[in-house]
């Protein structure tokens, strides 16, 4: 992945802003005092021009000229600092300038490690879901910023691709911690982890893959408290996306094993499997960060 490809992706995701976005960006980028002065300048400038037209008795020509110039200057000064869309000329100028400047030589070349290769495969699986903008999101579900005069927005800023991959990495690290550290095993989970690892060395890869699909089905930043039904629906979509890819993955031996990992993803929805009768269900669920 190169800097140019990252910049290209960012440009594709930030082509246009709504009027609300523009005002929101401007409001966050300027101190309150500056905003008050600029808006007050605009109002005062318009007021001076209006006063010239309706003044009774009429003003002499000298005062009219002075007040007119002052009003126009106040309006122009205020408007130049208020939010506005960049012109196509300035945009094309920026593009041509960036095209003339060579991009820094930067690329990410992961080491040839089986764990890294598996993580890259998982990333390709979940990328389409986490790179898609929310279909039911609100304006404030994305982050907007102005950097060097150009507006940018980040979709799924809270539950995006880094979040999904971090979920998988944490679950994998927890499993490895159980294998390598001397901790109390009153629940039997350490013994379970050693048993699963001995029987199936790919178990940790299955855990990483399933955990990375958590939140992939989200279509807004709703929470389990304010909109529990919608939240549960998104969570069920996580399992459907996982099932679609798990059915094509050689990691899983059979449908029942896939079903265990599907239900481990759930935490607000009731599952259909018997937690007391299936040895792997609860331990796998404990490994997944909520």
Domain ranges of the chain: 18-100, 114-142+156-287
pLDDT band at 96; cut points 50, 70, 90: very low
pLDDT band at 102; cut points 50, 70, 90: very low
- The DSSP 8-state label assigned to residue 2 in this structure reads B
Q: Among residues 220, 200, 226, 217, which one has the least CA distance to residue 156?
A: 220
The pLDDT of residue 59 is: 64
- The DSSP 8-state label assigned to residue 202 in this structure reads T
The pLDDT of residue 215 is: 92
pLDDT band at 271; cut points 50, 70, 90: confident
Determine contact, residues 197/179, Cβ cutoff 8 Å. Answer: yes
């Amino acid at each position: 992945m190169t800097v140019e490809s990252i910049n290209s992706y960012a440009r594709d995701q930030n082509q246009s802003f709504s009027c609300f976005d523009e005002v929101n960006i401007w409001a966050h980028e300027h101190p309150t005092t500056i905003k008050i002065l600029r808006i007050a300048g605009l109002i005062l400038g318009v007021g001076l021009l209006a006063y010239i037209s309706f003044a009774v008795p009429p003003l002499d020509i000298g005062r009219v000229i002075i007040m007119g110039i002052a009003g126009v200057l106040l309006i122009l000064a205020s408007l130049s600092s208020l939010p506005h869309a960049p012109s196509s000329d300035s945009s094309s100028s920026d593009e041509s300038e960036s095209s003339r400047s060579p991009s820094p030589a930067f690329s990410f070349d992961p080491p040839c490690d089986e764990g890294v290769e598996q993580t890259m495969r998982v990333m390709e699986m979940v990328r389409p879901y986490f790179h898609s903008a929310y279909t039911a999101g609100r304006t404030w579900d994305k982050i907007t910023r102005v950097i060097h005069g150009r507006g940018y927005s980040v979709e799924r800023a809270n539950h995006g691709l880094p979040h999904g991959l971090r979920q998988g990495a944490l679950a994998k690290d927890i499993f490895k911690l159980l294998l390598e550290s001397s901790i109390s095993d009153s629940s039997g989970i350490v013994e379970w982890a050693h048993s699963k690892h001995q029987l199936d060395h790919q178990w940790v890869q299955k855990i990483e893959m399933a955990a990375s699909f958590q939140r992939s089905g989200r279509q807004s930043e709703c929470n389990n408290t304010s909109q529990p039904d919608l939240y549960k629906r998104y969570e069920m979509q996580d399992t459907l996306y996982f099932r679609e890819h798990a059915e094509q993955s050689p990691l899983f031996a059979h449908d029942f094993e896939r079903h265990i990992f599907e239900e481990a993803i759930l935490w607000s929805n009731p599952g259909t499997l018997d937690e007391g009768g299936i040895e792997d269900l609860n331990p796998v669920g404990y490994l997944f960060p909520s």
